[in-house]
Amino acid sequence: MAIKIYKKNTAGRRNMSVVKVDFLAAKKPEKALLAKQSKLAGRSRGKISVRHQGGGNKQRYRVVDFLQNKFGIPGKVAAIEKDPNRNGFIALINYADGEKRYILATEGMREKQEVLTAENAPVKQGNRAKVKNIPIGTVICNLELFPGRGGQIIRSAGSGAILTAVDEKNAQVKLPSGEIRLVSNECYATVGQISNFESNSINIGKAGKNRWLNKRPAVRGSAMNPVDHPHGGGEGRQGIGLKHPKTPWGKPALGKKTRKKKKYSNKFIIKRRVKRK
């Protein structure tokens, strides 16, 4: 896997880069594991509720098994595939009982590799086990927050958390954001980090590529008129002229805390993530 930087033949190619992967399967996705995906273009009841969405290539949703409840049944990786709905790769698993499922591919996962979900599965890349049976210091991903709900966090490309402590009931996990959180030691987690860690390094290169991804153009507030945005107006190229950035409706755009002070899950957070400066 490597990042390919294109030659500067055209303005669109200038600085464009993509991740070239040699182990992706050149096949169509498994038909039985596809679902219809309708686009709303950011609209709710016909009115735009999320801006800058619309268009994009037609896509089918890949039904990914986050629960992975085939306990004790070994599976073999049939193919590593690209999923248009997420930045990490997915793996097609052929289980010993004949069933096929998609799971999130971990870094280093390849075809013909065996994976296993069990309470005390061997600590090996791609295997899934209960947190209490995973050694301290292991990198984990696709972690359950509550037993039986399936993987809910640590699912994006290249992300992995570190298991820092385990006691009789709970385990401490250091998340990619720096937050240290308690989870039940009965929760399941996958050993390893999610594949395609280089996804953040690619350069889109041209506006058209974002249009393929269902992203419409975004106009800076400072380029608008005062009637259209709180940052608008002024002679020439003016700054925002306000103490804090705002949305077009005057609400705080950056740094505003949105978490409820009495949220029930506050007791599970030992250390909050470090705020960006």
pLDDT at 275: 74
Quick check: is 113 in a domain? yes
In this structure, what token pair is assigned to residue 41? Answer: 């273009």
What percent of the chain has a predicted confidence (pLDDT) above 90? 48
The stretches of 172-218 forming alpha helices (DSSP H) are: 207-212
231 pLDDT band, cuts 50/70/90, is very high
Quick check: is 68 in a domain? yes
pLDDT digits (tens, 9 = 90+) for 233-248: 888 888 888 888 999 9
26 pLDDT band, cuts 50/70/90, is confident
pLDDT at 52: 94
Quick check: is 146 in a domain? yes
pLDDT at 205: 86
Average pLDDT over residues 75-104: 91
pLDDT at 255: 83
pLDDT at 206: 87
Evaluate if residue 176 carries a pLDDT over 80.
Answer: yes
2 pLDDT band, cuts 50/70/90, is confident
8 pLDDT band, cuts 50/70/90, is confident
Q: What is the CATH number of the domain that holds 172?
A: 2.40.50.140
Quick check: is 211 in a domain? no
- Average pLDDT across the chain, whole number: 89
pTM for the model stands at 0.85
pLDDT at 23: 84
3 pLDDT band, cuts 50/70/90, is confident
- Let me know: does 117 contact 68? Beta carbons within 8 Å: yes
pLDDT digits (tens, 9 = 90+) for 128-139: 999 999 999 999
Evaluate if residue 118 carries a pLDDT over 80.
Answer: yes
- Let me know: does 193 contact 139? Beta carbons within 8 Å: yes
CA neighbours closer than 13 Å in the CB half-sphere of residue 52: 8
Evaluate if residue 174 carries a pLDDT over 70.
Answer: yes
- Let me know: does 189 contact 128? Beta carbons within 8 Å: yes
Evaluate if residue 214 carries a pLDDT over 80.
Answer: yes
Other C-beta atoms lying within 10 Å of the C-beta of residue 107? 20
Quick check: is 94 in a domain? yes
Number of structural domains found in the chain: 1
Quick check: is 250 in a domain? no
Quick check: is 227 in a domain? no
Element (H, E) at 19: strand 17-20
pLDDT at 63: 94
Q: Cα 168 to the chain's mean position, in Å?
A: 31
Quick check: is 202 in a domain? no
Average pLDDT over residues 101-117: 90
Range of the domain at 170: 23-197
Distances (CA, A) of 60 to 112, 124, 130, 212, 249: 26, 31, 32, 14, 35
Evaluate if residue 277 carries a pLDDT over 80.
Answer: no
